[in-house]
Structure 1
């Protein structure tokens, strides 16, 4: 779709990058670099990622969040990202949307997690206005009482990032790698993954969601589409990303520690 129709006088500029199938670790490296080394506003939409990955928040503990023996047995890659938030498993059925903003770009949005979440939910309310009973429940996007979007954030002195993994579709077997977190939202009510989650594809076409997000973005920003080639990292950059793959050794050590803990509880 044409982006020019969304350029508006007096609104802050937002650079839009549309991707398809970028590996999620590469996307996280790009996002962190733009957060920490750019002074512009960015929206990144990545339509699916080619490989199955588990992505944990910066403080996530594998032993508490993952069924590690299954993860090791099936050689599922585990990534620790630079931002907070919970744990997700992503693949080609996941659509990623990220906003990276200067604090002054949205002066009415206080640079704290809850105000940023409220702002994003109002933007997505425009996207889902004809799609279902959309709302923000605690830190999740839901239709009714079932989650389809998980969020994570990182806030620096002058900028913030808000990124979302949207479950357009998911493989039910993948959910078997994830434990139910001990700090689950209250509205979950101890439901298992399959009773707690829903698929966006049951509510609206995939292209409608992406086009609708771009259109809603134009209510808040003057949108300019950028090619990924135009923002390739220069060779002399000193930026070092912090999102990374966990090693097999790290996962094995977490599994061993968990086993020791289970034995000590039985003793």
Structure 2
């Protein structure tokens, strides 16, 4: 027997943007613009960023988080994003997944950090079903007790964003730019960066992860692919983002204050 049209449950629409090698600074500008000026739900899936960069949370202090002399010597761009969370070195081995939603997009989801984090853990549990010992540990995605996905959020009056940097692979040398942060999750204990993180490529092919992520979102949303050049019709193009590239003199001043 067919279900009457009025009784069918219609999943909310989510626009999907798929990118490859897209500059992370520009991506963050787009994300903030969509969060603050669009009224639709979005998923941005970026398969790596071609140019290496360091991305810090909105309240990050360079002198406490970075080996500034090495960062300056190697001319690594440092970006302060508009969301909270920690610091990460990103490059072509990083996969970015961003979810931007209206507060009523997911039925029953309270628009607060912990519920959103928990919901995201359920989404990715579908992606990694039967693969490794995946779980959400504090605010991280882990296999066993090793982190491979770091998260950040921002919540506005009517909308929220949850974005993740996945370490599909990483260059060991990049870890030397990061200090051991003062605040760390309890499960990290005294482990250094290389003991604390793992590579997602040891568990799952790159393309399989991206396809499974899209499939997992279909449990809550009806997905529609949008081309990047069509974004102007969805948001205010005059928006001025708060995410910014830190200038060299700002990092040099931070290094001086540290001494």
Give me the TM-score of the superposition, normalised by structure 1.
Answer: 0.92
Task: Let me know the Cα RMSD of the aligned residues.
Answer: 1.4
Contact 1:100 1:160 (C-alpha < 8 Å) held by counterparts? yes
Check conservation: 2:35, 2:100, Cα contact below 8 A.
yes
- 1:9 and 1:222 in contact (8 A); partners too: no
Contact 2:33 2:235 in 1 (8 A): no
Is the Cα contact below 8 Å between 2:78 and 2:246 reproduced in 1?
Answer: yes
Counterpart Cα distance in 1 of 2:234 and 2:206: 33
1:238 aligned residue = 238
Alignment match, 1:203: 203
Q: For 1:178-224, what per-residue CA distance to the aligned partner results, in whole angstroms no more than 9, with x for missing partners?
A: 01110000000010010000000000100110000000000000111
For residues 189 and 235 of structure 2, the distance between their equivalents in structure 1, rounded to whole angstroms, comes to 49
Distance 1:195 1:141 in 2: 15
User: What's 2:178 paired with?
Assistant: 178
Matched with 2:69 is 69
Whether the 8 Å CA contact 2:65–2:178 is kept in 1: the answer is yes
Residue 107 of structure 1 and its aligned partner are, at CA, apart by 3.3
Give the whole-Å Cα distance in 1 for the aligned partners of 2:21 and 2:74.
22
Q: Provide, for residues 98-146 of structure 1, a one-character-per-residue CA deviation record: whole Å limited to 9, x for no partner.
A: 0000001113111111100000000000000121100111110000000
Give the Å deviation of 1:72. Answer: 0.6
Mapping of 1:1-267 within 5 angstroms? 10-232=10-232, 237-259=237-259
Contact 2:16 2:44 in 1 (8 A): yes
In 1, distance between residues paired with 2:87 and 2:77? 13
The answer to whether the 8 Å contact 1:142/1:149 transfers is yes
Cα distance change of structure 1 residues 252 and 83 upon mapping to structure 2, 3 Å threshold? same
Question: What are the Cα deviations for residues 132-191 of structure 1, in whole angstroms up to 9, with x where unaligned?
Answer: 100111110000000000000000000000000000000000000001110000000010
Name the CA shift for 1:210/1:236 in 2 (closer, same or farther; >3 Å). closer
The whole-number CA distance in structure 2 between the counterparts of 1:104 and 1:49 is: 31
d(CA) in 1 for partners of 2:120, 2:237: 31
The structure-2 alpha-carbon separation of the partners of 1:68 and 1:233, relative to structure 1 and needing over 3 Å to count, comes to farther
How far apart, in 1, do the equivalents of 2:252 and 2:236 lie? 36
Give unpaired runs (5+ residues) of structure 2: 1-7
Alpha-carbon distance in 1 for matches of 2:85, 2:234: 30
TM-score normalised according to structure 2 size: 0.95
In the alignment of these two chains, the number of paired residues is 252
Paired residues of 2:140 and 2:150 also in contact (CA < 8 A): yes
Greater alpha carbon shift after TM alignment, 168-177 vs 220-229: 220-229
Query: Do the aligned partners of residues 235 and 157 (structure 1) sit closer, same or farther apart at CA in structure 2, a change above 3 Å counting?
Result: closer
> Which 4+ stretches in 1 moved above 4 angstroms?
233-236
